[in-house]
Structure 1
Amino acid sequence: MSFHLSAEDARIESRDGHTYLYARLRREDGEWNDAQFNLDSVLGNNDGHFQWGGQDFTGSARNISFDPKEGADDQPILRAELEDCNGDWHSRDVNLTEIVENINGEFRPRI
């Protein structure tokens, strides 16, 4: 299930050189679980673009931000400036519903 439809208090935090997604996620039994997910385990930077299936985007990113309910559809959007191979910076965004989902109260990468 798309995590944003079953989440409360979604946010990101930077820690130890990585960016983590946190939220309270609803389980199948209706109870809530505090969950975290290391976005650097599934997101990379490919020459100034987010790369799904890559790793460690945080190391070449700045001004990382997150809006858990952006736009009319309340989509969870991660934004950052990503550095390309020439040292130039580019504003990029990625919809986190394309990357992670809620499986019984836990974040799991989409396959």
Structure 2
Amino acid sequence: MSFHTTAENIRVDDNRFLRARLTNGDGEWVDAEIDLNNCLGNSNGQFVWGGSGFADSCESVSFNLEGGDNVPILRARLIDGDGNAVDADVNLAERIENQGGQFVVV
């Protein structure tokens, strides 16, 4: 299940740490954190899942819940192979789930 439907106080801190309070299946809210720099990379100015280190080559990171479904979107200007900053975004719900109160990349 996409994490954002079972979370509150969702945010991205320090340009790379996704943090929230997640339900754990027992009706309890628990603090959770995942370092997005370990699961998102930068490939020539585009976010890529399964990569790493996007935060080492970006600027202007922002996070918002967007649209009527509150889709969790991470935006940044990623540096491409020519050194240009390129606008990029990624839907974090594509690959991040809440499993028992913990973020899991699937």
* Corresponding residue for residue 5 of structure 2: 5
* Corresponding residue for residue 62 of structure 2: 65
* Corresponding residue for residue 105 of structure 2: 109
- Aligned residue pairs total 106
* Corresponding residue for residue 71 of structure 2: 75
Q: Hey, what's the Cα distance between the residues in 2 that align with 1:94 and 1:51?
A: 9
Deviation, structure 1 residue 73: 1.7
Question: Is residue 27 of structure 1 aligned with residue 8 of structure 2?
Answer: no
* Corresponding residue for residue 85 of structure 1: 81
Q: Hey, what's the Cα distance between the residues in 2 that align with 1:51 and 1:66?
A: 17
Gaps of 5+ in 1: none
Q: Hey, what's the Cα distance between the residues in 2 that align with 1:72 and 1:34?
A: 25
* Corresponding residue for residue 41 of structure 1: 38
Q: Hey, what's the Cα distance between the residues in 1 that align with 2:21 and 2:31?
A: 4
- RMSD (CA atoms): 0.9
Q: Hey, what's the Cα distance between the residues in 1 that align with 2:90 and 2:16?
A: 14
**Seq. identity, %:** 47
Q: Hey, what's the Cα distance between the residues in 1 that align with 2:92 and 2:63?
A: 10
- Opposite residue 20 of structure 2, the aligned amino acid is A
Following TM superposition, where does structure 1 have runs of at least 4 consecutive aligned residues deviating by more than 4 angstroms? none
Q: Hey, what's the Cα distance between the residues in 2 that align with 1:53 and 1:83?
A: 18
- Opposite residue 11 of structure 2, the aligned amino acid is R
69-78 or 5-14, larger mean C-alpha shift: 69-78
